[in-house]
Structure 1
Amino acid sequence: MSNKGFSIVNHIGITVSNLDKSMVFYEALTGEKIANKDQIGGKRMAQTQGLDDTLIKYANLHLGNVNIDILEYVEPKSNKASYSNEQISAMHLCFEVEDIEAAVARLHEIGVEPDGEPIFFSEEDGLKSGFGTGVVYFTDPDGTNLELIAPKGPFTRG
């Protein structure tokens, strides 16, 4: 690990309205089981986020290259944010899969529909490379923007 700045992403935190429901979703999505479920709170933890007090129920999901922290704020109660991918400051989390169709089928099994049909990049998309890369967008139960990618060419990680 480099000490000259940021070199490794440790985790991505996703605030949800219902921890148990979201655990089912993210386990189905990734095919991995939750590694840990706990809660944390109090004034010391709240200070790290500029809050007066907090209580957070959370679960950790360990993937090969990054961890996902699924967070349900009990105190203070969360407000729903709403972003679509084209809005400034909107972010999305992308999961790499080998088979887009199989991943979409797993999502269908738990009642999740993609935002649109999956596509596989070709020259008609205006790219110069990466042909055959598959992508599809969807949201989690709380509206978090997510993507699946089956990467080819420059979209593969080195």
Structure 2
Amino acid sequence: MTEPDTGFSIINHIGITVSNLENSIIFYEALTGRKIANKDEISGKRMAETQGLENTLIKFANLHLGNVNIDILEYVEPKPSQAHYSNEQISAMHMCFEVDDIDAAVARLKAIGIHPDGKPIFFEEQDGLKNGLGTGVAYFTDPDGTNLELIAPKGPFTRG
């Protein structure tokens, strides 16, 4: 009998809570060029208890990418509130999409109506890095303000 993998070595999904499931499906399908794989809802006390809630109703969709799934979640119950995180805030997280060409990816974002938070850069020595020079990055947000990033990785930023 083999031991179960408890090494926390594979990410299954990233969950993003949104204000409107249908609008977010349109956004993430346009962004990734992929269609959702599933749309459903889950509710009740058993699910709520896993999250420390009294009760819950969650409408959701699953979007499968090559290396991770995105769960798009609209909480109907309890009534959600808007979180506001910027990247420097403690506990803020972001999701990063790997691309080959940062300039082409930014042009594609703009073509579907998404504008980066600032001008994309390619890491240089003046940025204080010792490794990963030439890596390109750009930041943007989804319609609800979720922090997203593009990376064209070099050196230690590449996955082996």
| Superposed counterparts of 1:29-40, under 5 Å | 29-40=31-42
Code of the residue aligned with 2:87 in structure 1: it is: N
- Give 1:2 shift: 6.3
Q: CA deviation at 1:48?
A: 1.1
Number of the residue aligned with 1:21: 23
Q: How many residues align?
A: 158
After the TM superposition, which residues 2-81 of structure 1 pair with which residues of structure 2 at under 5 Å, given as runs? Answer: 3-81=5-83
User: Equivalent of 1:111, from 100, 113, 134?
Assistant: 113
Q: Secondary structure at the match of 1:87?
A: coil
Q: Say if 1:22 and 1:141, in contact at 8 Å, map to a contact too.
A: yes
SS of the counterpart of 2:150? strand
Distance 1:27 1:101 in 2: 20
C-alpha RMSD over aligned residues: 1.5
**Deviation of residue 90 (structure 1)?**
1.0
TM superposition shift of 1:44 = 1.4
Distance in 2 between residues matched to 1:74 and 1:109, nearest whole Å = 32
Identity %: 79
SS in 1 for 2:134: coil
Which of 148, 151, 155 is residue 150 of structure 2 equivalent to? Answer: 148
Residue 137 of structure 1 corresponds to: 139
Q: Distance in 2 between matches of 1:75 and 1:4?
A: 32
Structure 2 vs 1, CA of residues 2 and 124 (structure 1 numbering), >3 Å: closer, same or farther? farther
* Offset of residue 14 of structure 1: 0.3
Deviation above 6 Å: which 4+ runs of structure 1? Answer: none
1:125-156: CA deviation from partner (whole Å, max 9, x where unpaired): 12122121110011110001111000011110
TM-score normalised by structure 2 residue count: 0.93
Q: How many angstroms apart in 2 are the aligned matches of 1:93 and 1:85?
A: 11
Moved more, 43-52 or 142-151: 43-52
In the TM superposition, what is the alpha-carbon distance from 1:5 to its structure 2 partner? 2.6
Task: Output the CA distance in 1 between the equivalents of 2:27 and 2:106.
Answer: 13
Q: 5+ unaligned residues in a row in structure 1: which ranges? A: none
Which stretch shows the higher mean deviation, 31-40 or 77-86? 31-40
**CA distance in structure 1 between the aligned counterparts of 2:79 and 2:150, rounded to whole angstroms:** 30
- Return the offset for 1:116: 0.2
Q: Say which SS state the counterpart of residue 104 (structure 2) adopts.
A: helix
CA distance in 1, matches of 2:122, 2:30: 23
